[in-house]
Structure 1
Amino acid sequence: MFRFSKRSEENLKGVNPALVKVVRRAIELTTVDFMVIEGLRTQERQRQLVRNGTSQTLSSRHLTGHAVDCAPLVKGSIPWNDKSKFKAVSDAMFTAAKELGVKIRWGGDWNENGRSDDEKFYDGPHFELRRQDYP
């Protein structure tokens, strides 16, 4: 079983408690270790990410504590180009969310059709509470 580092725990501060429960349950269920790389964001941080092209919106769910970015860890490094590892984290997150009755959406499948190969903007680390359930 995996556990979060202090850094991951710090990155959960300010995040909606329902999403925190999902993330904490997911780390217990996952087949691949992962870390929370970002939770609550400032407007300036969000503007920087849009400028860098790593985000496409200034109204991110991170700004309200309704999103987290979780990245898999393999031998202490994030395998950015291995979508299968991000999918493994996604599987744990969705299993945890279902157990807890929380509706989430993944940046690796924005249109929620069960596929990542048709996404215009793949954001594998991103998980958010669905707006219709958590405005």
Structure 2
Amino acid sequence: MDDAEHSFRKALEVAREQEARMWELRAACDLAQMLRDHGRWAEARDLLAPIHGWFSEGFDVKELQRAKTLLDGLSYLASSAYERHRPCSSVPDSAGPTSTISREGAAWARHRVCRCGRSGPFRPG
């Protein structure tokens, strides 16, 4: 675990101890984004999804919108459409059906640069 990941996990721990849900969501978004950028999509989705799921209102709040966009992109990365691209990095296990994806999440996922240097858009085969 590198220093950045350690710091994000520490922020999550502190937010949980203080029962500060919005701060926990913010730290989870930051950590999930870093994990996504390192190709650890399933781990990022599994971290963020339950925290985002706690919220039942306030979806117009910036942090909740950010979390939704990030989750949508992670869902796309784990979907069969992205899997058909077969990037050089390993493709995560699918965790069930893909959710409805926002335009921003889809745009990020479709234009991701593969570790081999090849860039998107990645389209179903």
Larger radius of gyration: 2
Q: Which is richer in strand?
A: 1
Higher RCO, Cα 8 Å, sep 6+: 1
TM-score, normalization: structure 1? 0.30
Q: Which is richer in helix?
A: 2
TM-score, normalization: structure 2? 0.32
